[in-house]
Amino acid sequence: MSRPVCPQCQYPVNACLCDSIRQLSTRVELIVLQHPSEVSHAKNSVKLMQAVMGEQLRLVVGETPEDFADLREYLAAQSRPVCLLYPSETSQPLEASVQHHDTILLLLDGTWRKAYKLLQLNPWLLEFTGVHLDLDAPSKYTIRKAKRDDSLSTLEAAALAIETLEPGCDVSPLHDALAALVEKRLAAMPAAVRQRYEPK
């Protein structure tokens, strides 16, 4: 049997994060293209983003161009700039490429391998300006290991992007919710397992 889920934050009742959820309001439009393998992943940070951002966050799950047909139609009708947040040899720093919050930002949610696969299967994404974040601190999402030093969770990347495009926006609701999630996950782990994730 599956564990009962809190109807508000969508996390298991025994790991409810409602006390740590504060709503975030931003003028930046964020659209997350999520690989299907992430939907049921217990450490998926996009579910937490949804709890904090509500309807301000648009989530589209898929893998092929057909899966994103409605999204492509929506983007084609926009007069605002659309940027793809994904580091590559041709991407530019976000702060140098985009000067205003009136931007649609596309994020790919998945492991590096899955995100790269999304990009390869959807060459239409390359029509948009490619941007990346200049990182000055490692990810705080320590309970999910990444193979690259420049890895951020999708939530952290979104928070940094919003902060860059809309400097007056308070993104602490995202950071605080993530910190609460990490704290609860670590507290629930056996001591021997917890040691693997805590800072050395």
57: domain CATH number is 3.40.1280
pLDDT score for 8:
79
Is residue 8 in a domain? Answer: no
Distance CA 22, CA 173 (A): 5
Q: What is the mean pLDDT of each run of 10 residues along the chain (200 residues)?
A: 75 83 92 91 82 93 97 95 92 80 91 93 95 68 47 88 91 92 70 54
Is residue 2 in a domain? Answer: no
Is residue 17 in a domain? Answer: no
Q: Give me the DSSP letters along 61-72.
A: E-SSGGGGHHHH
Is residue 200 in a domain? Answer: no
The CA radius of gyration of the chain, in Å to the nearest whole number, is: 17
Whether this prediction's pTM lies above 0.85 is answered by: no
Is residue 19 in a domain? Answer: no
Is residue 1 in a domain? Answer: no
Is residue 69 in a domain? Answer: yes
Distance CA 158, CA 129 (A): 17
Number of domains in the chain: 1
Is residue 87 in a domain? Answer: yes
β-pairing, 29-34 vs 57-61, is parallel
Structural domain boundaries enclosing 81: 24-136+147-195
